[in-house]
A and B are shown apart, each in its own frame.
Chain A
Amino acid sequence: MPATMSETYFNEMFEGGGVRPPYQGLEAWARDMPVDLRGMKQHEAEQLFRRIGITFAVYGEGGSPDRLIPFDMFPRVFAAQEWARLERGIKQRAMALNAFLADVYNRGEIVRAGRIPAHLVYQNDAYEVAVCGFTPPGGVFSHIVGIDLVRTGPDQFYVLEDNCRTPSGVSYMLENREIMMRMFPQLFRENRIAPVETYPGLLKRTLGSVAPKKCEGEPRVVILTPGHFNSAYYEHSFLADMMGVELVEGQDLFVEGDFVWMKTTEGPKRVDVIYRRLDDPFIDPICFRPDSMLGIAGLMNVYRSGGVSIASAPGAGVADDKAIYTYVPDMVRFYLGEEPILENVPTWQCAKPDECKYVLENLAELVVKEVHGSGGYGMLVGPRATKGEVELFAAKIREAPENYIAQPTLALSTCPTFVEEGVAPRHVDLRPYCLVGRDVNLVPGGLTRVALKEGSLVVNSSQGGGVKDTWVMAQ
């Protein structure tokens, strides 16, 4: 069982009165930084973010779409050995998830073997019949796998959830590093920190490696965005710029003959790989939602006949569903014949009467999430909730138990963070971005999100969370 709320939190920097090795280079830096310099640097960082234009819009909150996500200057650090193990675990999980997808859209061996209940797969909303019987190039369905991890002790990491569709936030990983290097070059001279700037190049290579069979010559890769009103538009344009590929909207593409074409000032140009940042229902109005203005009519026909590759493949979402999550360790054993390196958080399915009963009896100690929710909306953190809130939530669960899962409230590790009074521990999580093409790659780093409110365990940016630069010490 993982450490829970009743126990003490693992502090990633301080342990037993001493400083843990990966953080040793930061102790004097933080201690000796004058308060006014800190204020100046914090201000400078904000100016830089604003100038670069990294802002995000929070859905459903109204207000300015040009809000800044708070940046904390205190880095989060992993030792080389710690990372080596994490890396093995992340790659293992990303490969198992892809093997699962290739399987359930073909023979479904894992279902036949009775390891996963059929209805969870085939009646899942994210399961796309349009992909059945089709195997994309390299057998890869999910090319960018974001795995959300939390830590509860020196060697205890748990996977909170998988993101197999289009995980966002990688631009923060890259920009946080740029800004830290610009503001504190000395830190980077004194510490050996593995670079993350190879990500855009690796992403481009990964996408190029899954070009369709009919592609001739150098594959033309594009990023498909829903448009500039989308809250992640900055990230889409940033990645396109860093990769040197076109950022397109649905209206820029059309299908003619067996291919997808892009409208340019010199006439149509063929497109080989589409990295779409658009949800399944919107990509092709003929195949999916007929009212979608964002997609490309006929795209799925071209896809299925091998004229274009789509990353991630439509239907990849069935692997990151919260109901499927429980079975990922079994996927690792079933497809790879290995023991999973990363553990799941024990999860109770409210859809099962026994488990639902347990959840309702212990609601005050548990975290409850909606099966299809995201972004930290519609969740209950039992130990932080009032009695009234708990009762209200209990009623919601009784009404539609199949919509909820519950997990123990994990004792998330803390990382030192700059606060009003100086430096104080705040809870963090981690999202690394694993790239799957003909090879599997992981840059040493990821996005660390931090709950800036004292005691808070919710790190989502929509709920007052911030971000940190994430360091992996070089070997």
Chain B
Amino acid sequence: MLSRTAENLYWTARYIERAETNARLLEVGARNALLPDTSGGNRNEWESVLLASGTKSAFDAKYGDAVERNVETHLFFDRDNPSSVASCLSAARENGRIVRTALTTQVWEALNSAFAEVGDIARQERSSLSTTDLIEWTLKTTALIRGAGLATQLRNDGYDFTNIGHFLERADSTARLLDVKYFVLLPDVGFVGSGLDNYQWRTILRAMNASRAFNWVYGGDVTASKIVDFLVLNRQAPRSLVSSADGALHHIERLARAYGRETEAQTKARALVARLDRIGTEEIFDIGLHQFLRSVIGEVSDLGLAVHATYLSGESR
């Protein structure tokens, strides 16, 4: 298939997944704001949400105060923020429109309605919209688009590129959500796992719709080590780093078979999965959770570049 077509499919998926990540970040911030802090007030962790989204400096320049309404505007509505929900859904739809004929009617209609509805929401009175409404709408919408693809798309190379986009973006997203914890606690390792921060760990699980799944798998107390095990190393958790890396590898291997050609993308994907297979939670905490997560984010980004160079740029011979 045309490299540009593959690229459009890949980015459609990444933008959908990125819109979802923003909704989940909003959830973390909004939930934390409902909890008491140790100094007698309520927690304000919007700063850490912005740091995790990677858009803090742009936010500071435009809004200044990291209060809920501003962050919500920034992460959901703001077209100046290229990774807001509204921007991501527009970009996904634009990428989809270019390769319209590579999408089934169901996928296209789900994408197109998402684009229309986000415009409708932006025109509504802000006071009539709760943060929860915005989060739920986004999660429902992205699930619909992905589900339509899962149910109807042809299982050809285009399907592989779509899924590689989803899984790489999801790995990035999970790593960033976990990294919020780092910013909440500041880099004082002494606090990690001290029991003080159980509220926030719970919040992260909730944001991933994984709170009950966690109880099924581990039971008992929520500890940092169990959560890191669950969200990084457990193959049962659908959004864990290892599940996302597995997913990406699976589709990259399928491409290698279909094209009869091994590339740098396979090598890198295998290395990422192997690394996550070897490491344990203790070692992660030894390295430092933040340091570990940053290095995974870097590897995922490298893998993305390799996929781009190998398949999407049209430059490989």
Interface string of A235-250 (1 = CB under 8 A from B): 0011011000011110
Min CB distance A207 to B, Å, is: 18
Considering only residues 161-208 of chain B, those with a C-beta below 8 Å from chain A are 161
Mark the stretch among A179-187, A262-270, A274-282, A366-374 that contacts chain B: A262-270
Min CB distance B28 to A, Å, is: 36
Q: Does B314 lie within 8 Å of A252, measured CB to CB?
A: yes
Q: Does B2 lie within 8 Å of A248, measured CB to CB?
A: yes
CB-CB under 8 A from B314, the residues of chain A are 252, 263-264
Q: Is A119 close to B, CB under 8 A? A: no
Q: Is B275 close to A, CB under 8 A? A: no
CB-CB under 8 A from B105, the residues of chain A are 51
Q: Is B311 close to A, CB under 8 A? A: yes
Bound form: Cα–Cα A241–B108 in Å: 15
Q: Is B4 close to A, CB under 8 A? A: yes
Given known A237-B101, A264-B314, contact A251–B261 (CB-CB < 8 A): no
Bound form: Cα–Cα A268–B97 in Å: 25
Interface range on chain A (Cβ under 8 Å from partner): 20 to 34
Q: Is A53 close to B, CB under 8 A? A: yes
Q: Does B3 lie within 8 Å of A263, measured CB to CB?
A: yes
Interface string of B244-272 (1 = CB under 8 A from A): 00000000000100010100000000000
Q: Is A228 close to B, CB under 8 A? A: yes
Bound form: Cα–Cα A246–B6 in Å: 12
Q: Does A266 lie within 8 Å of B261, measured CB to CB?
A: yes
Interface string of B4-20 (1 = CB under 8 A from A): 11100000000000000
CB-CB under 8 A from A265, the residues of chain B are 1-3, 6, 157, 161, 255, 259, 311-312
Given known A252-B3, A265-B1, A265-B157, contact A228–B259 (CB-CB < 8 A): no
Q: Does A268 lie within 8 Å of B317, measured CB to CB?
A: yes
Q: Does B317 lie within 8 Å of A262, measured CB to CB?
A: no
CB-CB under 8 A from B39, the residues of chain A are none
Bound form: Cα–Cα A238–B316 in Å: 29
Q: Which residue of B lies closest to A238 (CB)?
A: B101
Bound form: Cα–Cα A114–B98 in Å: 50
Q: Which residue of A lies closest to B313 (CB)?
A: A263
Bound form: Cα–Cα A238–B98 in Å: 12
Bound form: Cα–Cα A237–B311 in Å: 22
Q: Does B100 lie within 8 Å of A249, measured CB to CB?
A: no
Considering only residues 77-113 of chain B, those with a C-beta below 8 Å from chain A are 94, 97-98, 100-101, 105, 108-109
Bound form: Cα–Cα A53–B312 in Å: 27
CB-CB under 8 A from A241, the residues of chain B are 101
Min CB distance B261 to A, Å, is: 7
Bound form: Cα–Cα A72–B46 in Å: 55
CB-CB under 8 A from A267, the residues of chain B are 316-317
Considering only residues 8-62 of chain A, those with a C-beta below 8 Å from chain B are 51, 53
Q: Which residue of B lies closest to A227 (CB)?
A: B98
CB-CB under 8 A from B4, the residues of chain A are 248-249, 251-252, 263
Bound form: Cα–Cα A110–B259 in Å: 54
CB-CB under 8 A from A240, the residues of chain B are 101
Q: Does A264 lie within 8 Å of B101, measured CB to CB?
A: no
Q: Which residue of B lies closest to A247 (CB)?
A: B101
Task: List the 8 shortest-distance A-B pairs measured between CB atoms, nearest first.
Answer: A263-B314, A241-B101, A265-B311, A263-B3, A228-B98, A265-B6, A266-B259, A237-B101
Q: Mark B residues whose CB is within 8 Å of A.
A: 1-6, 94, 97-98, 100-101, 105, 108-109, 157, 161, 255, 259, 261, 311-317
* Sample (28) of A-B pairs whose CB atoms are under 8 Å apart: A51-B109, A53-B97, A53-B108, A228-B97, A228-B98, A237-B101, A240-B101, A241-B101, A246-B2, A247-B2, A247-B101, A248-B2, A248-B4, A252-B4, A252-B314, A262-B2, A263-B4, A263-B313, A263-B314, A264-B1, A264-B2, A264-B3, A264-B314, A265-B1, A265-B3, A265-B157, A266-B259, A268-B317
Q: Mark A residues whose CB is within 8 Å of B.
A: 51, 53, 228, 237-238, 240-241, 246-249, 251-252, 262-268
